[in-house]
Amino acid sequence: MDSKSNSPTVDRARIDKLLDDHNINLTRQRRLIADTLFARHQHVTAEQLFEAVKNTGARVSKATVYNTLGLFVRKGLVREVFIDSSRTFYDSNTSHHHHFYNVDTGDLIDIKERLAPHFVDSDLPAGTAMEIVDLVVRVRNSS
């Protein structure tokens, strides 16, 4: 963390390369959003990202944040993790993995173990092949 701003140090060269490798034209707003989103591995909602960018003193609209996240998803820079009809997280770790979602705290956490999708193989409809298994395990605090 940068002691002056209380935010993670941004590796601009890494982020520039990431955006360039995915053919994303760099605008000032996209730079601010990318710097905040890719400064570290995180799971954020669009609203949380908007607030984080706003807290840097930058002026970016919610629509710009939503549009940029949509672009990043289409280009494969972030994964959408759907919790329910009103809550979507954006995961800066695009490797295949699963999640725990704490319904009490609203935290989304990576599951470290890679879960094998064997339970699905036997029930696949005829003429289909498995593409991917996205799993969100909902948990509650025990006390």
Domain boundaries, the chain: 12-91, 98-139
Beta-strand runs (E) in 47-102: 79-84, 87-91, 98-102
C-beta separation of 42 from 79 below 8 A: no
**For residue range 11-66, what is the model confidence (pLDDT) as tens digits?**
888 888 889 899 999 898 999 999 999 988 999 999 999 999 999 998 999 999 99
pLDDT of residue 5: 41
pLDDT the model gives residue 9: 66
Was 96 annotated as part of a binding site?
yes
CATH of 12-91 given 3.40.50.1970, 3.40.30.10, 1.10.10.10, 1.10.3470.10: 1.10.10.10
* pTM attached to this predicted model: 0.82
Q: DSSP assignment of 88-106, as one string?
A: EEEES--SS-EEEEETTT-
| Mean pLDDT estimate for the chain | 87
